[in-house]
Amino acid sequence: MKEDKLIPGSLIGAMLLVAGSCVGAGMLALPVLTGLCGFTLAVILLFLAWGFMTYTALLLLEINGWFYKQVNIISMAAKGFGTFGKVLSWSLYLFLFYSLLVAYIAGGSSVVSMYLGFLSTKTLMLLFTGILAIVVFFGTKSVDFVNRILMVGLIVTYFAMILLGFFKIEPNLLKGIRFEYVLLPLPVLITSFGFHNMIPSLTAYLKGDLRRMRLAIIGGSAIALFIYLIWQFFVIGVVPFEGKQGLLMNFQRGKEVGSILQVYLKNSAIVYFSQGFALFAIITSFIAQALSLMHFIGDGLKIEKVNRNILLLLLTFIPPLLFAMIYPSVFYQALGFAGGICATILFGVMPALLAWIGRYNKKFTSQYHVFGSKIGLIIILAFSLIIILNELFKLLGFALF
């Protein structure tokens, strides 16, 4: 056991865990939302969201360097903001990630029902959650191993769908620009690059090597960005904005991209690949988010041994499983709010404020420092404020755009 603690984790594995955490179920809705803006704006928004989330992740890495043991965002917030920060981070984190796990359980069991349709919905949810809970139970290395296999499946089905429909891309569909939808995709984009909760777990996995963690963050998020860019090009180039089966109407109906592509590609193989892609996307994100949630709860409850802990496993999986079984639609409606407000505060506002307090007020030291000084932190706070205000205005019945 002592010998295992001296073995550093794999940098490639850490990158894939970051990418797997990003490329989740949100990818099935993302092209529909960004497609409303047009391809040019979709690309700009992707780079903007990637830069924003990668920078704030590096800020959290710097903050992680304040500590001499594995911690999560509760301990970080408590050190920077005191009791208020601790309570706020608990509330936002649990709301956000329980909501995500509910969505993954409901969505994953729905996809599995296409293969095991003879089982009831509740049985499928129990089966889906139970199998993946076993993977998470054995810790980061177990999740890393399974995630690598699933990422291969994700990439194969992803490129298979693109190859099947590549020659159906119409260049004219890539020309439109619609500024009235420019803020609409931002909450989903934020959660689509949301791997920040993995940073404490991955830092422990890489034995506290912050240089390798920096490479894992930039490399893993860049893999996700590359996948998203090709995906946007493909979907927006195939599916028109208007029409009975266009992006706008399907957005209004709440349909995900897999079912839309089946209409336009008219290829039976796309059905199987889209189902496989959806399942791999959901599972890779599910196990990564569940692992980080388990570490988060363990940190909050001051439980040092997180792996193979039955109590933490139950606290991680039972609440979202019960909610998914009882009434998942409430949480689907809350995901926009969770991404636009909870995720933006947790992974935008909080890292910037903590870095400001740690650097300039409390003079904390870390092995790693992010470039940008005060100007970078102000830009992050301003961008976060735009997203939060737009979501709050939407809740009141109107939006900035």
Predicted confidence at residue 330, as pLDDT, reads: 56
Q: What is the pLDDT of residues 305-319, one digit of tens each?
A: 777 899 999 999 999
Predicted confidence at residue 4, as pLDDT, reads: 42
Predicted confidence at residue 70, as pLDDT, reads: 64
Predicted confidence at residue 97, as pLDDT, reads: 84
Residue whose C-alpha is closest to residue 101's, from 197, 187, 200: 197
Predicted confidence at residue 264, as pLDDT, reads: 77
How much of the chain exceeds pLDDT 70, in percent? 91
**pLDDT over threshold 80, residue 51:** yes
Predicted confidence at residue 254, as pLDDT, reads: 63
Where do runs of H (alpha helix) occur along 301-341? 310-326, 329-337
| CA atoms 148, 46, 35, 378: torsion sign | positive
Q: What is the pLDDT of residues 73-93, one digit of tens each?
A: 777 888 888 888 888 888 888
- Rounded to two decimals, the pTM is 0.81
| CA atoms 242, 243, 245, 248: torsion sign | positive
Distance, in Å, from the CA atom of 232 to the CA atom of 229, rounded to the nearest integer, reads 5
**What letter does residue 8 receive in the DSSP assignment?**
P
- Burial track 18-33 (b if 16+ CB lie within 10 A, e otherwise): bbbbbbbbbbbbbbbb
Q: Looking at 249-258, 266-275, 282-291, which range is the least confident one? A: 249-258
**pLDDT over threshold 60, residue 400:** no
Predicted confidence at residue 316, as pLDDT, reads: 95
DSSP secondary structure, 12-59, as one string: HHHHHHHHHHHSSGGGGTHHHHHHTT-HHHHHHHHHHHHHHHHHHHHH
CA atoms within 13 A on the CB side of 144: 15
Question: Residues in the chain, how many?
Answer: 401
Q: How far is CA 300 from CA 61, 84, 294, 375, in A?
A: 19, 14, 10, 32
Degrees, nearest 5: CA angle 234-236-241? 155
More confident: 197 or 192: 192
Predicted confidence at residue 329, as pLDDT, reads: 63
The letter for the amino acid at 316 is T
Predicted confidence at residue 311, as pLDDT, reads: 93
Predicted confidence at residue 5, as pLDDT, reads: 45
